[in-house]
Structure 1
Amino acid sequence: MSNYLRVTTPVEGSDGKTRFHNVGVAFPQREGSRSKMKIKLHSLPINGELVLFEPNTSDDDGGDLTE
C-alpha cells in the first residue's frame, strides 16, 4: 500500500458513465495514533460522496478515472 490514498467523488457524465473526480488526498496516521486517517480536501464534493483509491503511476496527469 502506498503512503497516501487519492480522495475522489463520483460524477456521472452525459454518456452515462461514472467518472471519479479528484478532490483531495488521505494520509494514514502513525501506528498508535487515536485517528486512522487525515484527509485533505482541495474541493468539496457537492454530492456528499467520497471514494478512496490507491494512486497509480498513470494517475500523474491528474485526470479523472472512469468506472
Structure 2
Amino acid sequence: MAHYTLAVPVRYDDNGTEQTAYRRVGAVFENTKRDTGETCLTVKLDFPVGVTELLAFQPNIQDVAE
C-alpha cells in the first residue's frame, strides 16, 4: 500500500523574496479493492483543515520509519 504526505503550501516573504514552505496536514493512502482490483485513495487529515489547496508528496525516509 503506497502512501503520500499531504501538505499545505504556505507562502511567506523572506527579505523581499517570496518563499514557499510545506506544512504537513495528513496522509493519502492508495488502496486496491480486493474484488475489482480498482485503485482508490483515502485521505486522512491530522486535524480539520480550511484551505483551498492540498498537495501530496512521497514520504521522506524518516516518515516511513515512524
Question: What's the TM-score once normalised by structure 2's chain length?
Answer: 0.69
Q: CA RMSD in A?
A: 2.4
Partner of 1:36: 40
Structure with larger Rg = 2
The alpha carbon displacement at 1:14 in A equals: 3.0
Higher relative contact order, structure no. (Cα contacts within 8 Å, ≥ 6 residues apart): 1
Q: Would the aligned equivalents of 2:10 and 2:20 in 1 still touch at CA under 8 Å?
A: yes
Q: Would the aligned equivalents of 2:32 and 2:38 in 1 still touch at CA under 8 Å?
A: no
- Number of residue-to-residue matches in the alignment: 58
Please state which structure has a larger fraction of its residues in strand.
2
The alpha carbon displacement at 1:8 in A equals: 0.3
Q: Within 1, Cα distance between the matches of 2:51 and 2:13?
A: 16
Structure 1 stretches of at least 4 aligned residues deviating more than 2 Å after TM superposition: 31-35
Q: 1:59 to 1:27 in 2, by over 3 A?
A: closer
Gaps of 5+ in 2: none
Gaps of 5+ in 1: 61-67
Question: What's the TM-score once normalised by structure 1's chain length?
Answer: 0.68
